[in-house]
Chain A
Amino acid sequence: MSTASQATPRLAPGRAGVKKELPDRFKDYRHVWVFLELERGNVHPVSFELLGEGRKLADKLEVQLAGVVLGPPGEMVEDAVAEAFAYGADLVYIVDAPPLADYRNEPFAKALTDLVNTHKPEILLLGATTLGRDLAGSVATTLQTGLTADCTELDVDSDGSLAATRPTFGGSLLCTIYTLNYRPQMATVRPRVMPMPQRVDKPVGRVMRHKLSLVEDDIVTKVLGFLPDNQSAMANLAYADVVVAGGLGLGAAENLQLVKNLARAIGAEHGCSRPLVQKGWMPADRQIGQTGKTIRPKLYIAAGISGAIQHRVGVEGADLIVAINTDPNAPIFEFAHLGIVTDAIRFLPALTEAFARRLSPHSRDKLAS
């Protein structure tokens, strides 16, 4: 459950309380679309998370859910199409053309804008990745419609408008945003904010194939190369099953070693809250929260983190949240499942040792038998 649904007593009143009719030219905009992001041969997992969310919206609206796949002709696109159906799409729009081999704004924005103008969806969802944000911003500008970034909850109100909730004021509050008089209603969602839906093998259904109305010569920007990240060195926080993080309560940069030690002992990824990145104690790719990574681990241990809203929205999807903080009134105890009021600097080594004892080879043998 995300934060907003606990605060909202279900459906918002119609048209966000604004009595205004949708302009005629938008009345035939129907169905929910999800843009599937192809990332060097694979579909970015956020696209599946969005298909799960799009399915719910489409069912509420009693309309269809369509996937949109843009890429080079060939296997990569066909695989993505099959995945779109497996994750709940009723139909898939394809634009496959050689200029779509690598992501560039011009051909992708052109392809998506043309598709929208031809088939007129009422809702269009994209992942809030570097690609999705680059693309969504220009498509929404060309279409002159509303785009709500980094939503943490999507819902449909009683007359069918998209209610998009996102953090605001630097993540200290939440707000619900509507695009009342324009279509499509566009929104982006960060990876891991929505749960991963169940994959169900299904035959490939209805596919609509379109041509790209651009050729390579029309495109100003050329891709000279791509340097893949060193995966082992990069934090894979978003998809980690166990995460340990430290906050300002650790007092000094060197105490982050205590967090790393615990993480190593239990095979977890380590991270931190925003202030530590601002202080330069940890690199930005380790930041957990609204402007950093959203995580959904099975276990999350937060040490010396007070639990500001922008942190809360980034961790609320965790199955089990354990908070360690000296301040019994810290907001983190309002959304953690288990709390310990104690000094993390002293407690972390004890916890690391206790875990090591519990998980020692001897105990492992016991488990295996």
Chain B
Amino acid sequence: MNDAGNEVNRQARIRTGSLEKSPMHIVICIKQVPDSAQIRVHPVTNTIMRQGVPTIINPYDLFALEEALKLRDVHGGEVTVLTMGPPMAEDSLRKALGYGADRAVLLTDRYFAGSDTLATSFALSQAIAKIGETFGRPDIVFTGKQTIDGDTAQVGPGIAKRLDLSQLTYVAKIASIDLKTREIEVARRAEGGTQLLKSRLPCLITMLEDTNEIRRGSLQQALCAARSQVVKWTAADAGIDDLTRCGLRGSPTVVKRVFAPTARAESAAQIDTAEKGLQDIADELIADILTRRPALEHELAFNSGT
């Protein structure tokens, strides 16, 4: 499945012994998302104007990808990047190959259309199982913390549960991995602090943001990425027999309606600024605030300067 260039990389790692000694296999799930900063809502129809919106790799996934590549730097092995999406999601896989991933798998089928998080984690976990059969069982599955378009943070835990992987979410740091004892230690962001956890491989890690910075792929990797074959699987290719668990049919949630919030009945009372000094406007604003909320005066007075 690899093209010649990636095969050269792989051979090189085998020669240096890293692949033989510790054939670590990491799968990272990414998602191609619209660059949400550029989404516009049609002012009249309230529908989303998606035409021409550029797509990017979900930014949270890049922290997971970099962490996977860093682990490969240390332990050797291979990084397989997986996405589910329309055929054009191949673009994001090529970008991931450009950063240095060894192999890319695109799960694409019209049966996946309309998947919610439960159906998505089903399809991805089936594909990961198939990747395991075809290319070697993964030791770690990575996902980003969440996506910027869905923001649910549910697909990672869903995959972990379905594949019976130790679930390590919001990981800030991978402290150590021992491939002999199959033990892993991580620092995990928890409510009010950082949890230090020891767990076992195989595990699923959702990587916290700002924990690393995605590398610039080498020129050789960029050339490889352009030439590489992306593995394309349909539902059947991924070994999915039960199509009722995919897409809209396999999604317990139903989106009833999408809408833009309406404006408040009355918009903000504007403080007139014409021909007034800034200090006067400021005094007027404070007077207005304290007329509306008299109790604030005490509160602000007692807290000020602290």
Contacts and interface: CB of A to CB of B under 8 A. Distances in A.
B36 A169 contact: yes
Interface string B197-229: 111100000000110000000000000000000
A180 B200 CA distance: 37
Contact of B191 (A4, A129, A266, A291): A129
Interface string A265-292: 1111000000100100000100000110
Contacts of B191: 37, 39, 44, 129-131
A105 interface: yes
Prevailing SS type, chain B contact patch: mixed
Contacts of A168: 150, 255, 258
Contacts of A284: 209-210
B270 interface: yes
Interface in A1-34: 3-4, 6-7, 12, 16-18
Contact of B304 (A275, A339, A350, A359): A359
A58 to B, nearest CB: 22
Enumerate the 8 nearest inter-chain pairs by beta-carbon distance, A residue then B residue, closest first. Answer: A267-B303, A170-B36, A137-B157, A339-B268, A146-B252, A354-B282, A350-B278, A146-B253
B243 interface: no
Given A174-B260, A177-B255, 11 more contacts: A130-B189, A133-B154, A138-B157, A150-B152, A172-B39, A175-B257, A221-B166, A221-B168, A291-B148, A323-B268, A355-B300
Interface stretch (B10-18, B75-83, B94-102, B116-124): B116-124
Interface of A: 3-4, 6-7, 12, 16-18, 37, 39-40, 44, 102-106, 109, 129-131, 133-134, 136-138, 140-142, 144-150, 163, 167-182, 220-229, 241-242, 264-268, 275, 278, 284, 290-291, 298-299, 309, 312, 319-323, 328, 332-342, 346-347, 350-351, 353-356, 358-359, 363-364, 367
Contacts of B270: 328, 333, 339-341
B192 interface: yes
Contacts, number: 309
Interface string B281-301: 111011011001101111111
Nearest to B198: A222
Given A133-B169, A338-B288, A299 B279 contact: no
Contacts of B154: 133, 136-137, 140, 147, 149
Contacts of B259: 4, 7, 173-176
Interface in B232-253: 251-253
Interface string B255-278: 111111111110111110100001
The residue among B149, B252, B278, B286 with the most chain A CB atoms within 10 A of its own CB is B252
Contacts of A138: 157-158, 160-161, 167
Contacts of A241: 299, 303
Given A340-B281, A367-B298, A170 B149 contact: yes
B39 A170 contact: yes
A134 B36 CA distance: 25
Contacts of A226: 190, 193-196
Contacts of B251: 146
Given A137-B156, A146-B253, A339-B269, A130 B118 contact: no
B153 to A, nearest CB: 5
Contact of B286 (A40, A179, A355): A355
Contacts of A340: 270-271, 273, 281, 285
